[in-house]
Amino acid sequence: MTDTRPLNELLREGHETFLRLVQKLNQAETIQWEAAPVPRTTGDPRRAVGPYSDPTADTALDGRRLTVRDAVTQARRSIDDLGAALSFLERAVDRYYGDA
């Protein structure tokens, strides 16, 4: 379906979204490699008992961290898609003017 909003409205909203994306992506790029700052619940009451702890595995397997990591990957793909859309549009306009 084609977006029928005025171009200036579409561009303003896109610009605001892009600025929020940059801000959130900068934050997510940092935290994607860290354990979440709140305790993880395992559902196993025995988990917290005993002398053995594996913080590396806990961090690596933290579902919240992995969710952030997946979101960072998806955001980067979306930015790549935006660049591809721009290239496609530039080629079409250049071709229209006989520059390609």
Reported residue count of the chain is: 100
| CB contact set of 75 (below 8 Å; sequence gap of 6+) | 21, 24, 25, 28
Average pLDDT of the chain, as a whole number: 85
pLDDT, one tens digit per residue, over 21-67 is: 999 999 999 999 888 887 656 555 555 555 567 888 888 888 899 99
What residue segments make up the domains of the chain, in order of their start?
56-100
pLDDT for the residue numbered 13: 93
Half-sphere exposure of 15 (CA within 13 A, CB side): 6
pLDDT for the residue numbered 23: 94
Residue 46 contacts residue 83 (beta carbons within 8 Å): no
Angle of helix 7-31 relative to helix 63-96, nearest 10 degrees, comes to 140
pLDDT, one tens digit per residue, over 65-100 is: 999 999 999 999 999 998 999 999 999 999 999 986
Task: Choose among 41, 72, 93: nearest CA to 85.
Answer: 93
